[in-house]
Amino acid sequence: MSKLFLVPTPIGNLKDITYRAVEILGSVDIILAEDTRHAVRLLKHYNISRKLLSHHKFNEHHSADPVCDLIRSGKTAALISDAGTPGISDPGFLLVRKCIEKGIPVETLPGPSALIPALVNSGLPSDRFCFEGFLPVRKGRRKKLTSLETEPRTMIFYESPYRLLKTLGEMAEHFGPERQASVSRELSKIFEETIRGTLGFLADHFRNNPPKGEIVVVVSGKKN
Ligand code: SAM
């Protein structure tokens, strides 16, 4: 039966893909990719060559209907993003919702995403957590941080190296400089590192060691 698969791809180490992900990517009629040039390079590594269509945040509103039509006509499609799980701070949600509305089967494979290794590696409680993705850059930023001041669960944020210091400073203001946190950089890559400590310590550390690469910030929830 034709359906939409959401297929997670590695966040850094090309060995981090499942057998089933490779099998499905190699057998679908169409691969929908956030960046088709990036996808060609990735798929080549696994000896996969399929028809590619672009599906990214600038066209996802317009491409969802035609993609659903293709699947309903009997084609099988797989959505991938540049890295990790589609729909997690990446395009995917709109297409999944549209497929569900139209009665098209959707199957999401388990696989890589930056948030879970960062959470587990932080050493902070992982039994309850909330994923906040990227904080708003300007509008709504202060409001969001204020709303999280009393959050009791461990919080996970995606961040760019250019904004990390500002974010750690603002988090220290909102959550207190003594709140425990961790910063994971370049997960599964050569220069992977996790630095753990208070928000105050982490701000000092990255002021003295300007960060590079991809970053996940994990912050302890408010203790009673
Ligand atoms: N879909 C992806 C996922 O499932 O994790 C997230 C895509 S989002 C556009 C990219 C952000 O994820 C980066 O800015 C960074 O915050 C985080 N990220 C992705 N890969 C990472 C890695 N190898 N190490 C640390 N953070 C990473």
20: CATH: 3.40.1010.10
Q: What is the pLDDT of residues 143-181, one digit of tens each?
A: 999 999 999 999 999 999 999 999 999 999 999 999 999
Same-domain status, 95 and 140? no
Q: At what angle do helices 164-175 and 199-208 cross, to 10 degrees?
A: 160
Same-domain status, 56 and 28? yes
Kindly state whether residue 224 falls inside one of the protein's structural domains: no
Within 10 angstroms of residue 217's Cβ, the number of other Cβ atoms is: 23
- Return d(Cα 18, Cα 34) in angstroms, integer: 20
Kindly state whether residue 127 falls inside one of the protein's structural domains: yes
Same-domain status, 76 and 164? no
Best residue for ligand 1 mutational test, from 167, 215, 219 (most atoms within 8 Å of Cβ): 215
pLDDT under 50: residue ranges of the chain: none
User: How many independent structural domains does the chain possess?
Assistant: 2
Same-domain status, 215 and 123? yes
State residue 168's pLDDT score: 98
Same-domain status, 17 and 104? yes
Same-domain status, 142 and 206? yes
Same-domain status, 83 and 120? no
What percentage of the chain's residues is helix, strand, coil (to nearest 5)? 35, 20, 45
Task: Find out whether the beta carbon of 91 lies less than 6 Å from any atom of ligand 1.
Answer: no
Task: Find out whether the beta carbon of 63 lies less than 6 Å from any atom of ligand 1.
Answer: no
Best residue for ligand 1 mutational test, from 60, 119, 192, 216 (most atoms within 8 Å of Cβ): 216
- Supply the range of the domain harboring residue 68: 4-108
Task: Find out whether the beta carbon of 90 lies less than 6 Å from any atom of ligand 1.
Answer: yes
Kindly state whether residue 134 falls inside one of the protein's structural domains: yes
